[in-house]
Amino acid sequence: MLSSIQFALKFLKYKIFAKHKKGHGIHSPFVFDLINNVFKDRKVDNDLAKIFLLHHKYKHSKQALIFDEKGAGTHQQTKSKLKSRNNQNIQKISTTEGKIIRNSSVTKKYGALIYRLVKYFNPENILEIGTSVGISTLYIAQGAPESKFTTIEGVEEKIQIARKLTRAEHLQNIEFICNDFDSGIPKILKKFNTLDFIFFDGNHTQEATESYFHLCLKKAHNNSVFIFDDIHWSSDMERAWNTIKKHEKVSVSIDLFRLGILFFKPEITKGHYKIKF
């Protein structure tokens, strides 16, 4: 994980040098349409407003939660109380629902973007890697209530909260899988012929991120959309993003600083865009 100062400097550089907020200078009609129909859209419809309310409510929840940490940690997680157990690589986290959401879930701005992307592309089969307590799950499921949506998380205590949140919104199209990614993802992939939309948001190491990308690529088709969270969160994640976006099957990559989006359409001109969002 980068220090706060390193991260702030990177963000500042992105804010100064990233362009195309309004689509000016973009020659790809596909990317131009995406900017104008999705990235620039700030309308909040009733469904999104309901998710915002629930997100806001749980962001302040003081409900205690104790669990064994999985993966490479999350934003500011080092501020939580971490204890090594028997010197093994397992860390006991004692926190609250609200803190988890504030430290590691998508923010309202990016949650809304994911909701709009899902609505725009209308995917049939969706996978989310890293449910946590279900905030991004809510945005995805609300955007595509008719889809077949599977989400995987290694911590049972978090999945229970995610179930509670999605039940509150009467979202019934979600299959929650509690499993380690390394053994769980291959099992999930066997159930799908193809995947249309994948949100990668867990185990932020270069090795794991690249490995999940290669596994999921086997189920991608020309219209699939892959979204990676936290692409500039650490040097490891930046290396993963820089490697993945250059894969021969990727036609367009979009860097929005927090999120990285990949498309695989062979008919569109290849390009790597850094877009101010």
Ligand X SMILES: C[S@@+](CC[C@H](N)C(=O)[O-])C[C@H]1O[C@@H](n2cnc3c(N)ncnc32)[C@H](O)[C@@H]1O
- Which residues sit at the interface with ligand X, rule CB under 6 A? 70-71, 74, 104-106, 130, 132, 135-136, 153-155, 158, 180-181, 201-203
Q: Is 91 within 8 Å of 84 (Cβ atoms)?
A: yes
- CB of 105: closest distance to ligand X in angstroms? 3
In terms of CB distance, is 116 or 158 closer to ligand X?
A: 158
Q: Is 11 within 8 Å of 257 (Cβ atoms)?
A: yes
In terms of CB distance, is 71 or 145 closer to ligand X?
A: 71
> Mutual orientation of helices 135-143 and 156-168 as an angle, nearest 10°?
40
Interatomic CA distance for residues 100 and 13, integer angstroms: 28
* DSSP of 111-153: HHHHHHHHHHH--SEEEEE--TTSHHHHHHHHH-TTSEEEEEE
- CB of 261: closest distance to ligand X in angstroms? 15
- CB of 165: closest distance to ligand X in angstroms? 10
Interatomic CA distance for residues 54 and 166, integer angstroms: 10
- CB of 265: closest distance to ligand X in angstroms? 26
In terms of CB distance, is 103 or 271 closer to ligand X?
A: 103
- CB of 162: closest distance to ligand X in angstroms? 8
Among 73, 64, 29, 90, which Cα is nearest to 202's? Answer: 73
In terms of CB distance, is 4 or 193 closer to ligand X?
A: 4
- DSSP assigned state of 19: B
- CB of 71: closest distance to ligand X in angstroms? 2
In terms of CB distance, is 238 or 268 closer to ligand X?
A: 238
- Kindly tell me the burial class for residue 5, based on how many C-beta atoms sit within 10 Å of its own C-beta (0-12, 13-18, 19 or more): exposed
In terms of CB distance, is 125 or 132 closer to ligand X?
A: 132
